[in-house]
Structure 1
Amino acid sequence: MSQNIESVCIIDDDNIYINLVSKIIELRRLSETVLVFNNGKEAMDFFQKSIENKEKPEVPQVIFLDINMPVMDGWQFLSEFSRIKNKITEDIDLYVVSSSIDTRDIERAKSIDVVSDYIPKPIKIDDFERILV
């Protein structure tokens, strides 16, 4: 299987989940690069620096975002990301990936313009291949 996605970003504080997702992406050759951030603040700092680097902004094509994290949770990240998204010229597909099955969380996530979809954990290999191929 060839790599169609150059860069994927995982924003999650669960190291087991991060390692699993990274390994699936690597073994299936779904992306060349996997960026990992353990909370929304780390990711937001990265995106803001990328925007400032006008020569070559380094932004992923796909983001997998958890909701429940320390420092800056997924909701806070989405709020901040929505404010800066118009400064990013590259297309980014952002997926909220969470173990929450609360319909309010699902509806809230899907109502945010920058969110492509809500995917419940555990995410299936088929989901990765559908999104990344």
Structure 2
Amino acid sequence: MAAISCTLLIDDDDTTNYLNQALLRRMAVSDAVLVAGNGQEALDLLLAHCEQPASPTCPALFLLDMKMPKMNGFEFLQVFAQRPQRQNPSVVIIMLTTSLNPKDVEQMQGLPIHGYLIKPLTRDKLNYVLQQHFGLAAPAN
């Protein structure tokens, strides 16, 4: 059994999703990985996978892109935070971004996230998330 039962990747870039899935698989840190191309798709996946609170496919970790079409990361978080508590899993939300714009960084400060990382996601960054937010290190592969 992996450290995380399920991870949700929310990013509109197919290459980024492919690489992040490959990293999660290679490190064997997540039993399941769900992928959404925007915030609305992520909300739809949560509705489908988190109906039962203890569902093994209800994500414990979101890796959320900031800038996406349809519903970006900021908009997703606003809607997610307004959902009834019983519909929201207990989750660690990490914003992934390519932006170092001070306005974007400042805007992230007030969000219900556990942190942010600059893309690309790497083994070291994922290990940091596991240590800081799940209290364990990823297996050394």
Is the pair's TM-score, using the shorter chain for normalization, greater than 0.5?
yes
Instruction: Provide the C-alpha distance between the structure 2 equivalents of 1:100 and 1:85, rounded to a whole number of angstroms.
Output: 31
Matched, 1:18 2:21: no
| Equivalent residues in 2 for 1:53-68, closer than 5 Å | 53-54=51-52, 58-68=57-67
Which residue is equivalent to 1:119? 117
Contact preservation (8 Å) 2:80, 2:88: no
What's the CA shift string for 1:53-100, capped at 9, x where partnerless?
Answer: 357555200000001111111111011011116234642000110101
Matched, 1:7 2:6: yes
- For 1:77, give the aligned amino acid: F
Report how many aligned residue pairs link the two structures.
130
The 3-state SS of whatever aligns with 1:115 is coil
| Equivalent residues in 2 for 1:1-133, closer than 5 Å | 3-50=2-49, 53-54=51-52, 58-84=57-83, 86-88=85-87, 90-112=89-111, 114-132=112-130, 133=137
5+ long unaligned stretches in structure 1: none
- TM-score, normalised relative to structure 1: 0.86
Percent sequence identity over aligned pairs: 25
Instruction: Provide the C-alpha distance between the structure 1 equivalents of 2:18 and 2:129, rounded to a whole number of angstroms.
Output: 19
State the 4+ residue runs in structure 1 displaced beyond 6 angstroms. Answer: none
What's the CA shift string for 1:2-41, capped at 9, x where partnerless?
Answer: 6211110100011111111100110110111011000111
Contact preservation (8 Å) 1:30, 1:129: no
CA distance 1:43–1:8, change in 2 (3 Å): same
5+ long unaligned stretches in structure 2: 131-136
Structure 1 stretch displaced more, 14-23 or 98-107: 98-107
CA root-mean-square deviation: 2.0
- TM-score, normalised relative to structure 2: 0.82
